[in-house]
Amino acid sequence: MVNNINKKPLLAGVIGHPISHSKSPLLQNYWLSRYEINGFYIPIDVRPQDLIKSIEALVLLGFRGVNVTIPHKVAILSIADTATDRASMIGAANTLYFNKEGKVTADNTDGYGFKQNIKSYDPLWEARTGPAVVFGAGGAAKAVIHALLSEGVPSVRILNRTRIKAEMIAEHLGNRVEVIDWYAIKEALNGATTIINTTSLGMVGQPSFKPDLSNASPEARVIDLVYNPVDTEFLKGARQQGLKTIDGLGMLLYQAEPGFTNWFNVTPSVDEKLRAIFLND
Ligand code: ATR
């Protein structure tokens, strides 16, 4: 990294509580070093009761912005001066931009990361070719569904163990979103061309998830947001049925792009070296 302390470095970071688990410093510092930017990106532990004061302090200290992680992703929306449409629709933010006047804009880049990840593997993918099936109804599901809708998906079928959470998303995100019973997987998959696991099933320490995907379109792309492990039973099962799969690591990397671009004035690229760093971490 080229940290020239005689010239004013650009400052950014990630706030959360706890913060030691965050992968964002590894990722952002890789890009700072790769593009030889005079900047710093640091993890900052911020307790919920200190959130407002901490944002004020970061603005005052000249930070360009920060990533936001658990437990602040929802609360930050009512503290920021403005929010992007996607952050408002999703009801949570993961990236803040501070402008020269000290105004704070909250953004949610998870849906962007999701789309870019698919397109990087599969430039010909188009959401509009058929229904999408989304397993799960948490924060990640909302971002994915918002991205699919903005890409022109004809319909989204949500399946969640706790049905009421899927119903709340459907109510909020409009009439192209329908709820299907968690156990009616076969019916939900009928003709589906994009299939996504947004649940934590399949993650290290969690039960695995291997639904029967035989009813999906042979053209379907199957995407797992789980990235630890990178190759999940869900993806292996899909490949066994001849379907194309995309792992979750890329989404993690691509969702970081808009923040870096805004804070450090360079659009970074997600490359194999970066993937390798995360695979070996
Ligand atoms: P995120 O913000 O990453 O989406 P989350 O909000 O905690 O995380 O959502 C986790 C998702 O995984 C939820 O859809 C959850 O289902 P419930 O709403 O029923 O809790 C799903 N999930 C977690 N463990 C599960 C399990 N054992 N079986 C089925 N779904 C599970």
3-class SS string, the chain: CCCCCCCCCEEEEEEECCCCCCCHHHHHHHHHHHCCCCEEEEEEECCHHHHHHHHHHHHHCCCCEEEECCCCCCCHHHHCCEECHHHHHHCCCCEEEECCCCCEEEECCHHHHHHHHHHHHCCCCCHHHCCEEEECCCHHHHHHHHHHHHCCCCCEEEECCCHHHHHHHHHHHCCCEEECCCCCHHHHHCCCCEEEECCCCCCCCCCCCCCCCCCCCCCCEEEECCCCCCCCHHHHHHHHCCCEEECCHHHHHHCCHHHHHHHHCCCCCCCHHHHHHHHHC
The closest-lying atom of ligand 1 relative to the alpha carbon of residue 161 is 19
pLDDT at 197: 98
pLDDT exceeds 70 at position 4:
no
Question: If you measure from the C-alpha of residue 78 to the centroid of ligand 1, how many angstroms do you get, rounded to a whole number?
Answer: 25
What percent of the chain is predicted at pLDDT more than 70? 98
Which protein residue has the closest C-alpha to ligand 1 atom 11?
199
- Which residues form the catalytic set? 73
Question: If you measure from the C-alpha of residue 200 to the centroid of ligand 1, how many angstroms do you get, rounded to a whole number?
Answer: 6
Cβ within 8 Å of residue 98, ≥6 positions away: 58, 59, 63, 64, 65, 104
160 lines ligand 1 (CB under 6 A): yes
Which protein residue has the closest C-alpha to ligand 1 atom 29?
161
71 lines ligand 1 (CB under 6 A): no
199 lines ligand 1 (CB under 6 A): yes
Compute the average pLDDT of residues 178-188: 97
Compute the average pLDDT of residues 240-252: 96
Q: Note the pLDDT tens digit of each residue in 82-129.
A: 999 999 999 999 999 999 999 999 999 999 999 999 999 999 999 999
User: Residue 6's pLDDT band (boundaries 50, 70, 90)?
Assistant: low
Tell me the one-letter amino acid at 10: L
CA distance readout (Å), 64 to 4, 67, 176: 17, 11, 37
pLDDT at 3: 56
Beta bridge partners of 68: 15
Looking only at Cα atoms, what is the longest distance across the chain?
63
Integer-rounded Cα Rg, in Å, for the chain is: 19
Question: If you measure from the C-alpha of residue 202 to the centroid of ligand 1, how many angstroms do you get, rounded to a whole number?
Answer: 11
165 lines ligand 1 (CB under 6 A): yes
How high does pLDDT run on average in the chain?
Answer: 96
269 lines ligand 1 (CB under 6 A): no
Question: If you measure from the C-alpha of residue 172 to the centroid of ligand 1, how many angstroms do you get, rounded to a whole number?
Answer: 19
14 lines ligand 1 (CB under 6 A): no
* Rounded Cα distance, 145 and 198, in Å: 10
Compute the average pLDDT of residues 156-161: 98
Which protein residue has the closest C-alpha to ligand 1 atom 30?
161
Q: Note the pLDDT tens digit of each residue in 13-66.
A: 999 999 999 999 999 999 999 999 999 999 999 999 999 999 999 999 999 999
Which protein residue has the closest C-alpha to ligand 1 atom 22?
199
